[in-house]
Structures are given as structure tokens and as C-alpha cells.
Amino acid sequence: MTLTETTTDTARDDDTFLDSLCGRLRPGAVIVDPTALRTYECDGLTGFRVTPSAVVLADTTEEVRQAVLTCREFGVPYVARGAGTGLSGGALPTSDGIVISLQRMRAILEIDPRNLRAVVEPGVTNIDITKAAAPFGLHFAPDPSSQQVCTVGGNVAENSGGAHCLKYGFTVHHVLELEVVLADGSVVRLGGVNREQPGYDLLAAFVGSEGTLGIVTQVVVRLVRNPATVHTLCADFPSITAASEAVTRIIAAGIVPAAIEMMDALAIEASEAAVGAGYSLDTAAALIVENDGPAAESKVEFEAVEQICRDTGTTKIRIAKDSAERAMIWRGRKAAFAAVGRISPDYIVQDGVVPRTRLSEILSRIGEKAAESGLRVANVFHAGDGNLHPLVLYSEAEGQLEQAEELSREIAELCVEMSGSLSGEHGIGTDKACSMPRMFTESDLAAMWRLRRAFDPEELCNPGKLLPTPRLCGEKPGVYVPHALEVSGDIERF
């Protein structure tokens, strides 16, 4: 599955395209230097590298529009890119295509504390929105682990969640309005600041569309008031099953914590090696539970959570006594992905969802599959949502990449078999496009293709992502590829 292509050092016959592109943009906006292009050849997805033929460093909506119009004129594919932290290959270019980088569009245009919103450009990092809102006691709720570097444009593309999405929801719940450049170069505004908005809700369809419906050039986000109080605990459990039972009981009690995270022994070992947050090294699983809200409410709920942990057999409960200790507990959790590098030369981050009540079951199935393949899997996950992030550890030097990718893919498909989802928050990208037919019927996928074709009939906007195609997936049995749609003379090219 590893793909390495380079076209930049071969003679190009499309100089007219590049001339036209440079002619329409400010001097210096187009990168063609092969070494510089290397920066854009991959995102956070292991094993995929494709060098684009050029990169546009857009400064304005108009520059994005000019780049899109030029690509349309010459039939050149393009992909928008933020910080390149995505984990499913969504920001990978095609070898004959260009990258439109939005990282220079990082102005915070307005913070409006009275109406609880902010207007930002797509290249602003997630954390910078919260920093700008902090003086008003507000924050931007989505908090992916990469929030220090990932951009809000990427959050929109992937509908990012994070540890606190259990209570606060995903990016789609925190975006009020988008400015988007469509494939025909038109600039539209989707959604609106009123909660009640007539017309089709295209905003929700664009959030999470992985850059395949257009390029977001401005985002109006909702800001959330910082909670009056926050209570955080970290509880050790003698087994994954006991910890899972605690999660089930907390939810069944009608409590909605801000977050319920789980880590297994291997993930704890890695995190401790990197951060030293003080997690127990002799436990099978740890739960991090956080309750926030008005003082009266969060205290009562937090006490109930503590009692449930005791009832389900916790061996140790650590309660954060101040914000410094809470920050340390979270630092350990958020660093866990990267920390796995301390205990393994290479790893793949998988992302799947199962019904919360089947957490214990899937984790033992993952354990069995890992044992069969001889690889180790560390588990860090948003337990409250049933959103797993198994980390498949391997060594590329020892030739284990293919085996690791196979195990990782099996885990994702196992999630679907268990009435879950192929992806929680990392997206489908190139990584899982060919698995989509395991989750959706032919008609369901055809409905998605209709939307795609309506907005990008020439398929130049981030092609080969999200939806399966024969070029991408071949005609393998078990991999559904839609051949034709009954209705549509206008939707025939798959």
C-alpha cells in the first residue's frame, strides 16, 4: 500500500499551467522548487508520500479562487492543506496535482464575546482561537490531541472531536457559518449566525467532507463559556472489563461528564516514559473522568462518578487537587500518541467506533488479533463515545509495515461488524476509502456521489478521498465500487 511518487524532477509539459498560475497570483505565491515541495508530500498518515507538482501559498480568498479557476481551466487536481496533521491522508496531493496551502491565512478577524462567536481564517490553529477568547472567559470547544498545531480549516474538513466531545460535540456543533470557494470558482457562504436558518443545511454536509466539496476560506465559530468548576479524576482498574463497566454505569446514571478517557497498560507505559504524569504503572487500565459545569451540579455528579468507580472495583483514585495537577493528567493523555514512539520505532494510529456497551468485547477481540499477528497494540480512547484509538506498534526496519497495516485495517472493519463506525474523528481519506462499502450500501454511497458531483462535476477537488473508486480500490470482491447510477446521465464517471 505504500506509495511514493515524484514528478517534480521530470521534465514537465504543462508549463503553460504553471505560467498561468503564477501570472494570476502574487509573486512568490507558487512553490515549484523540488526540495521545498517535499514538505507537502505527506500528512500524518504513515506510509503514504506523493509530491505535488506545485504548491500555492494563498493569502486571500481571491487567491484561492484564482488557483481553483486555473486548475479548472487546465484540468489539474488540487487539495487544500492546513498544518498537515491529518491521520487519514486527506491532505495528500495527487502526483499531477497541486496543493493549496492555507497556512498563511491565519488572521483572527473578530472575537465577539457578546454573541459568543469568532470569525477566523482557516489557517488559524485550534488553540489560538481559545487563546484569543480566553480574556473573555470563553473557549473553542473541539480539542483534538493535535490542537497545538492543527488548523481550524482541517478541523472543519475532518469534523474533529477531541477528549471533550462527549459533552460538547464535534466541530459541526461549533461552526456557525463558512465561506467556501467551490470548484467553479464561485464563493458561497453556508449556514449563518442565526440558529434558525431556512434552506438546505449545506454547512453540515461541508463539515467533515474532507476537502472534497470546496475550499473553506473563512470560518465563523461558536465560542463556549468556560465552566465555573472542573473536577478531574484518574481511576485505576484491574481490568479493561472493570473500567468499561464503570463507563457504562456512569452513562446509564444519566451523567454526562465533559470527558471519559481510557488508557491501557501499554499506553500508560508509553505516556509515563514521555511525560511522567504520575499514572500507575502497575494497573491494567486507567480512566480519566472530568465533570464540569456550575459548582452545584458538577460536584454532585463528580461524587456520583467516584462512587461508581468504587462500586466497579477501582484500585486507586487520584483526584486533581488544582488546575496544575489537572493539566498534568491531561498532558499525559494528550501526549500518549506521540509517546508511543518511546516504546516502538513505528506505529499506526487507528480510529474506529463501537457502541459503548461493547467496549470490553472489542478490546478483547483486538487483543486476540494482536496476539495472532505477533504485534503489540496500545489502546487510548474516548471511552464515553466508544471511540477507539488503537496504536499498532511495529518496526519498519524489521519489515512489519504491511502486517501492521493489515492488523490496523482488520480492527477498523471489526468496528463496523460490531455495529460501529469505520472512523470516529480521523476521517476516511485515502486510507479507508476502499472500506466504505463495508459500512454503506450501494444506494447510500450513490447518494454521497450525487452530492460530490453536484459540487465538483470534474472531480478536481481532492480526488481519490473519502469515496471508493475503481482506480483507488480496483474491482476486488468485497470492495464495492458503484458502476452507474440509475438516474443520472450527469453522474456517470466513477
- Least Cβ distance, residue 165 to a copy of itself (angstroms): 8
Return the number of the residue (283 or 408) whose C-beta is nearest a copy of itself: 408
Return the number of the residue (151 or 298) whose C-beta is nearest a copy of itself: 298
Report whether 305 contacts 374 (CB < 8 A): no
Distance CA 202, CA 268 (A): 41
Distance CA 225, CA 219 (A): 19
Identify the H or E element spanning 237.
Answer: strand 229-237
Report whether 57 contacts 31 (CB < 8 A): yes
Report whether 144 contacts 162 (CB < 8 A): yes
For a copy of itself (CB under 8 A), the number of binding residues is 84
Among 71, 100, 97, 187, smallest CA distance to 464 is for: 97
Return the number of the residue (81 or 453) whose C-beta is nearest a copy of itself: 453
One character per residue 428-447, x = contact with a copy of itself (rule: CB under 8 A): x---x---x--xxx-xxxxx
Only one of the segments 52-60, 276-284, 364-372, 424-432 lies at the binding site for a copy of itself (rule: CB under 8 A); that segment is 424-432
Return the number of the residue (320 or 428) whose C-beta is nearest a copy of itself: 428
Distance CA 75, CA 60 (A): 22
CB neighbours of 417 closer than 8 A, spacing ≥ 6? Answer: none
From the list 44, 52, 424, 464, which residue makes contact with a copy of itself (rule: CB under 8 A)?
Answer: 424
Return the number of the residue (121 or 210) whose C-beta is nearest a copy of itself: 210
Asked if residue 209 binds a copy of itself (CB under 8 A), the reply is yes
Q: Which residues make beta-bridge pairs with 478?
A: none
Q: Binders of a copy of itself among 43-102, rule CB under 8 A? A: none
Asked if residue 30 binds a copy of itself (CB under 8 A), the reply is no
One character per residue 274-313, x = contact with a copy of itself (rule: CB under 8 A): -------------------xx-xx--xx------------
- Least Cβ distance, residue 170 to a copy of itself (angstroms): 8
Asked if residue 135 binds a copy of itself (CB under 8 A), the reply is no
As a dihedral over the C-alpha atoms of residue 376, residue 260, residue 88, residue 462, rounded to 10 degrees, the angle is 180
One character per residue 320-359, x = contact with a copy of itself (rule: CB under 8 A): ---------------------------------x-x-x--
Q: Which residue has the cell 470548484?
A: 183
Return the number of the residue (254 or 399) whose C-beta is nearest a copy of itself: 254
One character per residue 150-169, x = contact with a copy of itself (rule: CB under 8 A): ---------x-x--------
Other beta carbons within 10 Å of 225: 12
> What amino acid is encoded at 437 in this protein?
P
> What amino acid is encoded at 51 in this protein?
T
Residue 114's alpha-carbon distances to 82, 118, 225, in angstroms, are 29, 10, 11
- Least Cβ distance, residue 110 to a copy of itself (angstroms): 14
One character per residue 110-129, x = contact with a copy of itself (rule: CB under 8 A): ----xx--------------
Asked if residue 266 binds a copy of itself (CB under 8 A), the reply is no
Asked if residue 258 binds a copy of itself (CB under 8 A), the reply is no
Q: Is the dihedral of CA 170, 468, 78, 350 positive or negative?
A: positive
Report whether 105 contacts 58 (CB < 8 A): yes
Asked if residue 455 binds a copy of itself (CB under 8 A), the reply is yes
- Least Cβ distance, residue 228 to a copy of itself (angstroms): 8
Q: Binders of a copy of itself among 228-247, rule CB under 8 A? A: none
Asked if residue 448 binds a copy of itself (CB under 8 A), the reply is yes
From the list 466, 473, 480, 494, which residue makes contact with a copy of itself (rule: CB under 8 A)?
Answer: 466
- Least Cβ distance, residue 151 to a copy of itself (angstroms): 20
From the list 374, 457, 470, 474, which residue makes contact with a copy of itself (rule: CB under 8 A)?
Answer: 457
Asked if residue 2 binds a copy of itself (CB under 8 A), the reply is no
Only one of the segments 208-216, 268-276, 331-339, 471-479 lies at the binding site for a copy of itself (rule: CB under 8 A); that segment is 208-216
Q: DSSP string of 55-87?
A: EEE--SHHHHHHHHHHHHHHT--EEEESSS--S
Asked if residue 103 binds a copy of itself (CB under 8 A), the reply is no
Q: Is the dihedral of CA 248, 253, 254, 256 positive or negative?
A: negative
CB neighbours of 467 closer than 8 A, spacing ≥ 6? Answer: 212, 433, 436, 445, 448, 449, 452
From the list 16, 148, 186, 323, which residue makes contact with a copy of itself (rule: CB under 8 A)?
Answer: 186
Return the number of the residue (241 or 421) whose C-beta is nearest a copy of itself: 421
Distance CA 450, CA 468 (A): 14
Return the number of the residue (192 or 238) whose C-beta is nearest a copy of itself: 192
Q: Binders of a copy of itself among 370-389, rule CB under 8 A? A: 385-387
Distance CA 336, CA 354 (A): 21
Spell out the alpha helix ranges (H) of 30-151: 34-37, 61-74, 126-133
Only one of the segments 34-42, 231-239, 328-336, 453-461 lies at the binding site for a copy of itself (rule: CB under 8 A); that segment is 453-461
Question: What phi-psi label fits residue 116: left (phi over 0), alpha (psi between -120 and 50 degrees) or beta?
Answer: left
